[in-house]
Amino acid sequence: MNPMVTAILRVWTLLLLVLLVLQFALAGFGVGYGGGLETGFRMHFVNGDVLLYGYAAAVVLALAARVGATITWLTALGAFLVLLQHGMGLVSVPGTLFGQSLFLVHALNGLALIFLTHRIGVLLRRAVRGRPVSA
């Protein structure tokens, strides 16, 4: 394990967690703005892109930190879930049963991302303190 890169990954994971919580606030702003997918959700879309690139960087950091397979795979899972979020946003059709159902799954997937990112942070804290890391 590389302690310096692991410390950077811990801070990076905390930043991702803050951005995920902000993402929910931006979604609420978009709904309150009028619910249209244009102007009100602009910052939600931009933050989603930042999250995608941030998780891609987290995977590289996890590989560089050599913190073990568990943390690395969970970080890769997080990147996949963010990519899945983008896909759901692209194929959803607002105002239809399919579209609204997809938005429900989109929100639940976002909650899963928050939990997963928190769990990665807990595992990283254990790794830094020399405790065994298990999912």
Where do the domains of the chain lie? Answer: 3-128
Q: What's residue 98's pLDDT?
A: 83
* Dihedral Cα 49, 50, 54, 55, nearest 10 deg: -30
For residue 38, report the phi and psi dihedrals to the nearest 5 degrees: -95, -95
Alpha carbons 103 and 30: distance in angstroms, whole number: 13
pLDDT tens per residue across span 6-47: 999 999 999 999 999 999 899 888 777 765 666 778 888 899
* Helix axes of 69-91 and 42-65: crossing angle, nearest 10 degrees: 160
Contact between 53 and 82 (Cβ < 8 Å): no
In tens, the pLDDT along 86-115 reads 998 888 777 788 878 888 898 899 999 999
pTM: 0.86
